[in-house]
Amino acid sequence: MLSILKQTELMEPNSEFKIVVLEDNDFYNSLLTRQLQNYTDEIAHDKGYKFEISSYTNATDCLKNIKPDTDIAFVDYYLGEDKNGLEALKIIKQKCPDCKVVVISREDNMKTSFQTLNEGAYTFIYKDKDALIASCYLVDEVIKERFHPLV
């Protein structure tokens, strides 16, 4: 029993990360996905991590296909299809409770921000000139939490 415990303690954390982008605006979806892809390609090259990025413009498809081991999901608040980011957040958290859901919105609305955080969002990002960079920093945070959970 002791040798099994020691093996478990010595195991390296999983170096594969799953990222989901749910943004109904084709242009912004492409922009955010490309930014994340470029950023994670650099990390993969430097650190040897693997990243799987899935991108959706349709909430129904995303929520049907999201994997339970998704690490981080970037979700637009205004999704069309009579859905919003709050509804998507709740479904994602049911399907993958450990997923860090980042809600992104073009409206800088405190009420919406607090509401999503109260429902379990990891954070809320206002879609401005710094949103793409902030998204990359959040990927960094998720990586650091996995490899250094107490830091």
Per-residue model confidence as pLDDT tens digits over 121-144: 999 999 998 999 999 999 999 999
Question: 44 and 15 in contact (C-beta within 8 Å)?
Answer: no
Q: Report all structural domains of the chain as residue ranges with CATH numbers, in order of start.
A: 21-147 (3.40.50.2300)
The single-letter DSSP state of residue 67 is -
User: Would you state the pLDDT for residue 82?
Assistant: 78
Question: Are 20 and 72 spatial neighbours (Cβ–Cβ below 8 Å)?
Answer: yes
Q: In this predicted model, what pLDDT tens digit does every residue of 72-116 receive, in sequence order?
A: 999 999 987 778 889 999 999 999 999 999 999 988 778 888 888
Cα angle 61, 39, 113 (rounded to 5 degrees) comes to: 60
